Structure 1
Amino acid sequence: MTVARLSPATRKAAVALLLVAALATGAGLLFVFDPNAADSPLPQCLFRLLTGLYCPGCGMTRALHALLHADVARAWAMNPMIVLMLALLPAMTWHQLGRQPALPAPFSRVLMNGKAWIALLVAFGVLRNLPWAAFAWMAPG
């Protein structure tokens, strides 16, 4: 029995279709289930449960839930980093598709630099746990 080989274009289309289906399913679940509710089936942050500290992703589920309900202010209060990252996602996707985003070259280089993103996420994770008022806005809440 021979297995038909898929062309690269067909494989890319299948992967894109699966990605869209997964995103739509996740968005549907986040729209229906409120992660703020006591009986929510959505998991809590394991890092927070184990350490008592906020990780860079803490509040992300609640932020995405708020965005799906068009509550940008609440999403920002839960996790400002995810709101910024989602705003930059179209430019990053455009770049990954081999097109140059309509951004100044220095900004584009930083935006597409993985090391810069890692440093930003680590700094965000540290700063949002500091007890001073200047950083308290970064904590979920």
Structure 2
Amino acid sequence: MWRSFAPSSARGTPSGPFGALVTSWTGEPLAYAENVTRVSYRSPGRTLLPQGLVLGGVAAGALLVAFRDPNEAGHYPSCPFLAITGYYCPGCGMMRLVHALTHGDVGTAFGFNPLVFLLLPVLGYLFVRWTVSSARGLPMRSAILRPAVAYSFVGVVAVFWVVRNLPFAEALAP
């Protein structure tokens, strides 16, 4: 059965995405009980464009850091928070972490920023979920995206920020 979409003008009629009236090939409204599948107005190529851009940006950044050593002075600007306050921020050591990972030195990478190192698998999982959800045309639903989890994450980052600057936690400093 062919289906077409026309603007819905009457309240209480079966409607599809964005309020479009779902009709059969004869122009009559379909009954609510019939299977009406989701219609995507985006082509498959455009559906995964954001993921491709993110993946390309991450790969380009990793390649840049792999070939330009952040341990050598003058290649990258220093952390402004560290320069102003003398304390490490939660992101200090991330470029050196990426440099060590791209060269296969996992132990050294962990030492530069343990929090980011432990979050990399979570970020990878979220990226895969986002890609699969987008490819299927579904919204991304995950327990990780709940407000309580987000607030907990902010709390963990804040605690890491404070603890890595304490004298007894020098192992957390980059």
Distance across 1 between alignment mates of 2:50 and 2:129: 18
Equivalences, count: 124
What residue in structure 2 maps to residue 3 of structure 1? none
- SS state of the match for residue 137, structure 1? helix
State the superposition RMSD in angstroms. Answer: 2.3
Shift of 1:139: 0.6
1:17 to 52, 58, 79: 52
Q: In terms of mean alpha carbon deviation, does 20-29 or 110-119 score higher?
A: 110-119
TM-score by length of 1: 0.76
Q: Say whether 1:48 aligns with 2:66.
A: no
Distance across 2 between alignment mates of 1:121 and 1:92: 18
Shift of 1:87: 2.3
- SS state of the match for residue 53, structure 1? coil
Alpha carbons 1:92, 1:111 under 8 Å: kept: no
1:29 to 64, 75, 95: 64
Distance across 2 between alignment mates of 1:83 and 1:138: 12
What residue in structure 1 maps to residue 95 of structure 2? 61
- The structure that is helix-richer by fraction is 1
1:67-89: CA deviation from partner (whole Å, max 9, x where unpaired): 11111111111101111000222
- SS state of the match for residue 47, structure 2? helix
Distance across 2 between alignment mates of 1:120 and 1:46: 22
Alpha carbons 1:30, 1:64 under 8 Å: kept: yes
TM-score by length of 2: 0.63
1:70-114: CA deviation from partner (whole Å, max 9, x where unpaired): 111111111011110002223333454577xxxxxxxx8468611
Unaligned segments of structure 1, at least 5 residues: 1-5, 100-107
Residue type of the alignment partner of 1:116: S
1:25-66: CA deviation from partner (whole Å, max 9, x where unpaired): 1111011000001232x2211110111000100111111111
- SS state of the match for residue 34, structure 1? coil
Equivalent residue runs for 1:1-141 within 5 Å: 7=42, 9-40=44-75, 42-96=76-130, 109=143, 113-132=149-168, 135-140=169-174
